[in-house]
Structure 1
Amino acid sequence: MKSKFLLMLISVVFFLNACSKDDNDAVETLETPVANAPKDVNDNGFKAKWNYVSHSKSYLLDVSTSEDFTTILPNYNSKEVTDLNEVVTGLTGGTQYYYRVRAKTEAQISDYSNVISVVTTGSNGIPEDPTFLKVKVNKLANPFFVGMAIKASQLTNGTPYDVILRNEFSSISAEYEMKMDQISTASGVYNWTVADKIVAYGNTNNINVHGHALVWHNAVPQWLKDFSGTDAEFAAEVKKYITDVVTHYAGKVKSWDVVNEAVDDNGGAMRNTIFLQRMGPNYVKDCFQWARNAAIAAGDTLLLLFYNDYATSTNIAKQDKVFAILEDLKTAKVIDGVGFQMHNTYLSPTKAQIETDLNRAVAKGLKIHVSELDIQVNQFNDISSFTNERRLAQKAKYKEMVKIYNALPAANKYALTIWGMKDNESWIPYSTELNHPGNDWPLLYDSNFAVKSSHTGFLEGLD
């Protein structure tokens, strides 16, 4: 009898264990697979790869031309694969693709894996959009100026520079030739020749002229650096310069960067410039007040005054300090807008960082000038030629920036200015401060004045 009872007990335990195991198997959730970098990338395809998932019987592969998978290739829409890789074929050369996978059993499908980006080699053969930038911008419900940084030597009639400027752009900024050390040769003595040429070109061709910049610590003329008078006399010299320049160009220059880059990159403090040292912490407000007073005295009541700076989207301490200055200037009623330089890379800042930065200016009721836009693609010196992957990444980043700007309220839009025309003439590859003295291709035109994918990205950002 005891052995019979023991046998029954063992049977019950075995049955319960079996049921428990079946239940666990039934509710066990498939792990999410991990997609890996592609292999054997060529003009027409690549090999997609991913890691093994326990209990999976197969995998579902998606391949798309859009990162959000709104457009999935017909042959690769949840394509079932029993291996840990799949050779994707029938693609177009020089084109951006994305892939992801899910694990599958008879009863379950896992979550999507991470998304892998891949650019096929070769060329897609699709020409860039030849539409002129300002033509498309001017058709918008709320248009804005499309700007270009220029040099006076580029403004000869009939040159490729001249043709592109008149066809594509509605605003110009002097890259360097309207700064203090270029105009002021001594106290009260000015060389207007080059700056006058730039302003006359804009006025003659119905192109807006943005003045850049009245006060910048890297453009102080030697005579002012060596000035031996009192601090009050130094301030008087700065006031005289601002007054004379604003007066000279009253009605001809429609906006000015009054002060450029007054905030330090570290800790959110004022930059320790000669202007801070000799004029005190209120020098920015003083400069704006002098510019405003000069414009009013000259009868130019429409002149717009901007503060201009860089790297505020990623450097929050700097951003906070800049906006504290802007609040002070706004309270004093001496500022109209803020310039965000946007010397960006194809990786940074993020869309969210840029939007947060610009929306703070919107909240203050300021006009926004994306004042010095270029997008580096070789900040780590890891490529020696302009690859398809970087070309498309740059295109996407230009599109993103323009889309963000175009979405701003109409009252806050002023201009979006590209900092230079041709890649080979950009300041970026030659800047020792950027610490990447190699090749880069940051602009909208190549060395032969041909439009790049970045130009098409700009146009697509307006859609």
Structure 2
Amino acid sequence: MSEPEIELGAPIANQAANVTSSSFKASWSRVYRADSYLLDVSEDSGFASSLTGYNEKSLIALNEEITNLESKKVYYYRLRAVNGTVVSSYSNTVEVTTTFVPDPNLSLKKAADTFLVGVSVQSGKLNGQYDEIYRREFSSITAEWEMKMNVMHPSAGTYDFGPADAIVKYGEDNGINVHGHSLIWHNSTPDWVKNFAGTDQEFEDMIEDYITTVVTRYKGKVTSWDVVNEGLEDGSGNLRNTIYRQKMGDDYIAKCYQFVRAADADVLIFYNDYNMITDQTKQDAVFTMVDDFIARGIPIDGVGFQMHISHDYPAKADIQKATDRIVERDLLVHFSELDVRANPNKDLTSLSPERSLSQKAKVKEVVQVFNGIPNGNKYALTVWGLKDSETWLLDFYGHVDWPLLFDGNYNKKDAYYGFLEGLQ
């Protein structure tokens, strides 16, 4: 009596790993009783044009490094399990796109020819390698701290414009756009303002004078301002109960925007906030405020999403959906403080190759969304810091992370190339 024919299940093909501009690693699950596998790699999903050497290539291992591929090209692979003369059905088909090799002379600002590419800067770090990279890569700068109230207006009757002037002059000297950040922010309110002893009207007059003084000083030099930063609470979307609200009323944001427009008819006015992708209640509240401003003729030109995100969150579709709400109102979009945490769960002590590629993929998604915005609604995509070793996140979270495009030695990371790939 003959032996019953062996039945083999189909392998499960895994997503490709270690994808580069010329190679990727294919892998698959072990199939019970299989003694080998037949691997197909093709340039089309119908497998009509298999790569040389990869038309039913026989393998014993559970992975294969596919090499000598073209840059930025789509490939497909599938396989079957084998035992003697018995061959299984095909696995699922996996699609892989190789990365691209950028022109070594290409920079972020050259590649992004329809919007500004920004970076946050500090007045004491505008020389040496900072200067070299800023001038080569970026078309816009934002002061990280120096254009906030506690720095520019540290005491009643006293202004200190030295650090802000240095940043604005650097922009002027190098043909780099300057974005002002930020006139009103609860976390940069000086003590003398928090403890203001005058009447509510005197407080409002003081704020108007401060805004008028600053905006007038930089008229024609600073092209845009985050006038109020983070004015709404997390979760509830309610107005933060700041000294500005207490003294000027619930309409204080609108008043500040009017003060700015009176001082500079041409400067672009933004509202800027964080968690604008992930906090739906806050997002809704911001757009309710924006719609109210538009209906009442309160000046507003754009909305800034800070984009302090992680390598695995939020989803690209959610970024797109939130961004569409700005475009629907025909306002300018600013991704204003981008950093992408690679270590949100504190599971790494150094940046692993896998996590670096995950971060790169998220940066690419962010740039793809921004680059897909109609040109008339694009303002800038600004990265919050130059190199990993100086990110604000180190102090804020108290553990290591590598959220930026350059490492601590000014070297371009995978994330940098993810930015470029997002523009392709």
TM-superposed deviation, 1:403: 1.5
Paired letter, 1:86 = L
TM-superposed deviation, 1:241: 1.0
8 A Cα contact 2:115 2:381, kept in partner: yes
CA offsets, 1:372-425, max 9 Å, x none? 111111111111111111111112211221121111101101111111101101
TM-superposed deviation, 1:101: 6.3
1:9 paired residue number = none
Q: How many pairs align?
A: 400
Find the partner of 2:273 among 296, 302, 309: 309
What is the rounded CA distance, in whole Å, between the counterparts of 1:60 and 1:323 in structure 2?
A: 55
Paired letter, 1:201 = Y
Q: Does 1:236 align with 2:205?
A: yes
CA offsets, 1:183-232, max 9 Å, x none? 11223321111111111111111111100000000000110011122223
Q: Given the two structures, how large is their TM-score scaled by the length of structure 2?
A: 0.82
2:353 paired residue number = 388
CA shift in 2, pair 1:80/1:416, >3 Å = same
What is the rounded CA distance, in whole Å, between the counterparts of 1:349 and 1:251 in structure 2?
A: 37
TM-superposed deviation, 1:50: 5.2
Find the partner of 1:271 among 229, 240, 261: 240
Secondary structure of 2:221's counterpart equals coil
Paired letter, 1:307 = Y
Q: Does 1:455 align with 2:416?
A: yes
CA shift in 2, pair 1:257/1:64, >3 Å = farther
2:62 paired residue number = 86
Match runs of 1:11-160 below 5 Å = 48-49=28-29, 86-89=62-65, 109=89, 112=92, 129=104, 131-138=106-113, 143-156=114-127, 159-160=128-129
RMSD: 3.8
8 A Cα contact 1:128 1:456, kept in partner: no
Larger of the two Rg values belongs to structure: 1
CA shift in 2, pair 1:58/1:163, >3 Å = closer
8 A Cα contact 1:338 1:367, kept in partner: yes
1:225 paired residue number = 194
Secondary structure of 1:164's counterpart equals helix
8 A Cα contact 1:171 1:208, kept in partner: yes
CA offsets, 1:138-188, max 9 Å, x none? 3xxxx11111100001123xx111111111111100001100000112233
What is the rounded CA distance, in whole Å, between the counterparts of 1:32 and 1:268 in structure 2?
A: 51
What is the rounded CA distance, in whole Å, between the counterparts of 2:88 and 2:37 in structure 1?
A: 11
What is the rounded CA distance, in whole Å, between the counterparts of 1:381 and 1:137 in structure 2?
A: 33
8 A Cα contact 2:150 2:189, kept in partner: yes
Paired letter, 1:450 = N
8 A Cα contact 1:188 1:240, kept in partner: no
Secondary structure of 1:186's counterpart equals coil
Q: Does 1:324 align with 2:293?
A: no
Q: Does 1:189 align with 2:150?
A: no
What is the rounded CA distance, in whole Å, between the counterparts of 1:74 and 1:235 in structure 2?
A: 75
What is the rounded CA distance, in whole Å, between the counterparts of 1:62 and 1:273 in structure 2?
A: 63
Q: Does 1:446 align with 2:421?
A: no
Q: Does 1:200 align with 2:169?
A: yes
CA shift in 2, pair 1:31/1:364, >3 Å = farther
What is the rounded CA distance, in whole Å, between the counterparts of 1:328 and 1:77 in structure 2?
A: 62
Q: Does 1:409 align with 2:384?
A: no
Paired letter, 1:310 = Y
TM-superposed deviation, 1:426: 0.7
What is the rounded CA distance, in whole Å, between the counterparts of 1:76 and 1:103 in structure 2?
A: 13
Deviation >4 Å, runs of 4+: 30-39, 43-47, 50-53, 56-65, 71-81, 89-92, 97-111, 126-130
Secondary structure of 1:454's counterpart equals helix
Q: Unaligned regions of 5+ residues in structure 2, if any?
A: 1-7, 18-22, 69-73
What is the rounded CA distance, in whole Å, between the counterparts of 1:243 and 1:45 in structure 2?
A: 59
CA shift in 2, pair 1:275/1:61, >3 Å = farther
TM-superposed deviation, 1:52: 6.2
**Percent identity among equivalent residues?**
44
Secondary structure of 2:154's counterpart equals strand
CA shift in 2, pair 1:109/1:372, >3 Å = same
Q: Does 1:281 align with 2:250?
A: yes
CA shift in 2, pair 1:48/1:108, >3 Å = closer
CA shift in 2, pair 1:382/1:275, >3 Å = same
Deviates more, 1:44-53 or 1:370-379: 44-53
Q: Unaligned regions of 5+ residues in structure 1, if any?
A: 1-29, 118-123, 296-300
Q: Given the two structures, how large is their TM-score scaled by the length of structure 1?
A: 0.76
Paired letter, 1:449 = Y
TM-superposed deviation, 1:77: 6.9
Find the partner of 1:358 among 292, 316, 323: 323
What is the rounded CA distance, in whole Å, between the counterparts of 2:50 and 2:352 in structure 1?
A: 24
8 A Cα contact 1:98 1:116, kept in partner: yes
CA shift in 2, pair 1:461/1:267, >3 Å = same
What is the rounded CA distance, in whole Å, between the counterparts of 1:333 and 1:91 in structure 2?
A: 58
TM-superposed deviation, 1:315: 1.2
8 A Cα contact 2:149 2:183, kept in partner: yes
Secondary structure of 1:442's counterpart equals coil
